[in-house]
Amino acid sequence: MQRRAIMSSDHSNPKNRLISLLALLVCIRVLFAVVIWSINGQSGFFHPDSAYYIEVARNMLHGSFSVAGIPEIFRTPGYPALLIPAIAFHHVVSIALIENFLLCAVSAWFIWKIVGELLPESNAAFWAVLLYCFEPMGILFSEKIGTETLFTTVLLLFVWIFLRYLREPGFQNLILAALILGCATYVRPVTMYQPLWLAPVLFFFPRSLPRMQSTVRTGAFLIMFALSLAPWVIRNAVVADYKGFSSAGDSDLYFYCAAAVQAQLEHKNLVQEQNEMGYNSQQRYLALHPEQRSWSPGQSARFFRVAAKNVLLRNPGTYAALHGRGCLIVMFDPGATELMKIVRLYPEFGGLLSRALTEGLIRTTLWLIREYPVSAVLLLLLGAVLAMYYIFAIAGLRQAPFDAGFVLVALFFYFVLISGLPGAVVRYRVPIMPLVCICAGIGIAHWRSKKLVSAEVTAAKQGKVQPPFMVFPR
């Protein structure tokens, strides 16, 4: 009887609990915004890409997706379109933050729905959303004018619909999932190859479908995703002589991947090599390549791709080691330095784990304690929090339905591998952490249920209460 009462109280008023969690989430972000504003003013809500997005959004408002009169093929229109109301009403920071906070609340609702449908009789949805409320990088980058928050929300919508298709394999859910993933790609092109990564999942799941039907549906998913990107590919080909969706990959190959290999071979750091290559300085770059002054954006992107591939193909082992380091940064950098930059206790440029990977862990730790002792303490705290999230997530994967757990793990490693470029930073982990929260919420709920049962059994053995199966006295 006692167990029934406890279980009933655990699951009572789920709607009220969700509303309370959403209110908590928004309050945390609003309070953090007040702290940032009091220390840095409006500049605290910007990161290096923010001004670029604002300029693109302003030009979109006037009917042109361009920068300095040149058609834009590096950025995609998803996030600049969201900024248009902020530009139109001349309150860029305040409206952008309101949009981010609302998107965070929607993301939390999606987490609630995903976990609730996977384990409807569990309390895991509550714990997953609570973890998301306090996830440090999610909080930090919801305060920035950037793509992370919008992208995370659209990605979670995709995960919800995709997992629903695995549970209820209707063709409508499959097509809707493909279109939503296309929308996510318009926000950040990082998901461009995700359908190919998920194709084996669609081929083997749901297991109830005949193999031929699974093959047809896998093909339909890939085709529908490609069709969703086709309008932008056509636009780029027409206005910029570029037959692709975004030149971000070409630029990253040249200015990050190839630059990192060259820096390694020449015993330089990445920033020094990038500066010598003309990164973020059109004047310096054109001085190095004067023949490109009359080139179209598409021609420049093709040059980046070909030149980078030549360097990488000659040094595959060197690049593999650098990419592995980037993956470690995405997964394990606690993000302490990002938080310390806000309160001006750490220089604006520099990541801790990237420094550790180049100078060694011991030297970096001693340097941090000597130069930034507060950051050293925060590093330990955030590292412990991140470890806790991962530990509970691993435990939760064992309790999640197999197909759902497989999808979440596949998505996690997709983003780690695709984002683990040389020069990777902790913000690339932002869309990953809600997936970790989903699994960790399941892990916490399972741990608490085992603890509850153990307590009941112990109490029953001590004669304090009757065990659950002894409802009436004999």
Sign for the CA dihedral angle at 337, 341, 342, 348 comes to: negative
Residue 198 neighbours by CB under 8 Å, 6+ apart: 162, 221, 407, 410
Contact between 232 and 189 under an 8 Å Cβ cutoff? The reply is no
Quick check: 409 pLDDT over 60? yes
Mean pLDDT of 201-212: 93
**Measured distance CA(31)–CA(24) in Å, rounded:** 11
| pLDDT for 241 beyond 60 | yes
pLDDT at 187: 98
pLDDT of residue 8: 41
pLDDT > 70: what percent of the chain? 92
Residue 211, CA atoms < 13 Å, CB-side half-sphere: 0
In a domain? residue 176: yes
- Whether 473 contacts 461, CB under 8 Å: no
How many domains are contained in the chain?
1
Residue with tokens 């082992």: 317
Closest residue by Cα to residue 14 from 107, 121, 99 = 121
Q: For residue 87, tell me if it sits in a domain.
A: yes
Closest alpha carbon to 153 in 446, 430, 436, 464: 430
In Å, what is the CA distance from 356 to each residue of 216, 350, 361, 363?
A: 48, 11, 5, 8
Task: Identify the residue with better confidence: 318 or 470.
Answer: 318
The answer to whether 141 touches 97, Cβ cutoff 8 Å, is no
Report yes or no on 166 lying in a domain.
yes
Say how far apart CA 24 and CA 231 lie, in whole Å: 40
pLDDT of residue 469: 45
Determine which of 3-7, 56-60, 167-171, 355-359 has the lowest per-residue pLDDT on average.
3-7
Closest by CA to 161, choosing from 172, 150, 145, 152, is 172
Given this model, what pLDDT does residue 356 score?
A: 64
How far is 200 from 187, CA to CA, in rounded Å? 25
**Mean pLDDT value of segment 278-302:** 94
> Exposed/middle/buried for 10, CB within 10 Å: 0-12, 13-18, 19+?
middle
Q: Per-residue pLDDT for 10 more than 80?
A: no
For residue 206, whether the previous peptide bond is cis, meaning omega lies within 30 degrees of 0, is: yes
Question: In sequence order, what are the beta bridge partners of 67?
Answer: 70
What's residue 5's pLDDT?
Answer: 39
Say whether pLDDT at 6 is over 60. Answer: no
Length of the chain in terms of residues written? 474
56 CB burial (10 A radius; 0-12, 13-18, 19+):
buried
Is residue 201, in this structure, part of any structural domain at all?
yes
E strands, 39-198, in order: 66-67, 70-71
Q: pLDDT-based confidence at 471, cuts 50/70/90?
A: very low
**What is the predicted pLDDT for the residue at 339?**
86
Low-confidence winner among 76-90, 132-146, 329-343 (lowest mean pLDDT): 329-343
**Tokens 């040249």 correspond to what residue?**
254
Q: Is the pLDDT confidence value at 146 over 60?
A: yes
307 DSSP β-pair partners: none
194, pLDDT greater than 60: yes
| Mean pLDDT confidence for 204-228 | 95
pLDDT attached to residue 458: 79
Tell me, yes or no, whether 293 lies in a domain: no
Q: Any idea which of 64-78, 109-123, 314-328, 335-349 has the lowest mean pLDDT? A: 335-349
Segment 134-154 shows an average pLDDT of 97
Give the best-scoring range by mean pLDDT among 7-11, 207-211, 396-400. 396-400
Contact 439, 400 (CB under 8 A): yes
The stretch 272-282 carries a mean pLDDT of: 92
Is the residue at 360 inside a domain? Answer: no
Per the CB < 8 A criterion, the answer to whether 437 and 389 are in contact is yes
pLDDT at residue 474 greater than cutoff 60 = no
Looking at per-residue pLDDT, the higher value among 359 and 426 belongs to 426
Give the C-alpha distances (Å, rounded to integers) separating 94 from 34, 52, 55, 107, 154: 11, 18, 17, 20, 22
Instruction: Please tell me the predicted confidence (pLDDT) of residue 366.
Output: 79
* CA-based nearest residue to 152, from 96, 224, 95, 101: 101
Q: In the numeric block, which tokens belong to residue 395?
A: 């435990």
Please give the pLDDT value at position 473: 34
Cα–Cα distance, 214 to 205 (Å, whole number) = 8
Contacts (Cβ under 8 Å, ≥6 apart) of 265: 315, 318
Quote the pLDDT of residue 472: 32
In a domain, 365, yes or no: no
112: containing domain: 2-247+370-461
The verdict on residue 473 lying in a domain is no
* Mean pLDDT, range 245-262, rounded to an integer: 96
